[in-house]
Amino acid sequence: MSEGKVETVTKNGIATIQFFHPQSNSMPGALLFSLAAEIEKAGKNKDVKVIILKSEGEKTFCAGASFDELIAIKDLETGKKFFSGFAAVINAMRKAPKFVIARIQGKAVGGGVGLAAAADYTLATEAASAKLSELNVGIGPFVVGPAVERKIGTSAFSQMSISAGDWMSAQWAREKGLYASIYPTLPELDKAVDELSAKLAESSPEAMAQLKKVFWEGTENWDTLLIERAEMSGKLVLSEFTRNFIEKFKQGVR
């Protein structure tokens, strides 16, 4: 439990994949690769027509990279492997021949924004503000960047990346296309997710699979691109700037 968990429940053609970590749903490497594996498994399951991605809790959808694991990185290969976990999840979402619906109940930070962007359809609450905080840490949103930029455009992606300390409201995220719709309460969000997933589960699997291919045209190089980006982050996380920032953050110094 201390390392988090990923669970999948399949019912009526809908695979609901839920992740949890006690530190605001942050993502250590093992949890990332486990999440990627569950998405790949659901994508290959003939009984699954649609995938829902969600996290436990109410306040935070995903706090991004685990700082405990970041500070423990001592060499490039370890850093590259850690950030490759985010690449694995995004590519699993991209290549699954099923629509992925993301349910964003609270704040999304860094890699969490990447998960929201990599989904085919993302629904959120009005409390689901988002930020790409990587530049503050001394790295950049390199791995999640292609997914975020694809969803919201270069201008909005640049704005989020540069104003790394600023929260973007859920309304802003909806206007930019990160979220398809936002809802005042969690029950209203869940109702919308349930209704959409049930409707898609009754749609043509072949048509949805082909439509997904159309949506993701031009991303065929992401298997290599995102790993190259992971290496960029892996190098930067070893810098004195980043290590000092994380230590101060853990000590409560801002």
pLDDT digits (tens, 9 = 90+) for 201-219: 999 999 999 999 999 999 9
Strand partners, 118: none
Q: What is the pLDDT of residue 2?
A: 64
Within-domain flag for 97: yes
Q: How far is CA 246 from CA 83, 84, 136, 170, 230, in A?
A: 16, 20, 10, 27, 19
pLDDT digits (tens, 9 = 90+) for 48-70: 999 999 999 999 999 998 888 88
Nearest one of 54, 223, 39, 52 to 146, comparing CA atoms = 223
Mean pLDDT for the chain overall: 94
Length of the chain: 254
Q: What is the pLDDT of residue 252?
A: 62
Within-domain flag for 96: yes
Domain assignment of residue 51, given as a range? 5-184
Total tally of structural domains belonging to the chain: 1
Strand partners, 11: 14
Query: In the predicted model, is pLDDT for residue 7 greater than 80?
Result: yes
Within-domain flag for 189: no
What pTM, to 2 d.p., does this model score? 0.93
Query: In the predicted model, is pLDDT for residue 122 greater than 60?
Result: yes
Q: What is the pLDDT of residue 230?
A: 95
pLDDT digits (tens, 9 = 90+) for 182-203: 999 999 999 999 999 999 999 9
The encoded tokens of residue 58 equal 């109410």
Find the CATH number of the domain harbouring 38: 3.90.226.10
Angle between helical axes of 145-152 and 154-162 (0-180°, round to 10): 130
Taking phi first (over 0 means left), then psi (-120 to 50 degrees means alpha), and beta for anything else, what does residue 189 get?
alpha
From edge to edge, which strands make up the β-sheet containing 130-131? 60-62, 107-109, 130-131
Q: What is the pLDDT of residue 253?
A: 46
Mapping DSSP to helix (H, G, I), strand (E, B) and coil, where does residue 190 land?
helix
H or E element that contains 105: none
Within-domain flag for 238: no
Within-domain flag for 196: no
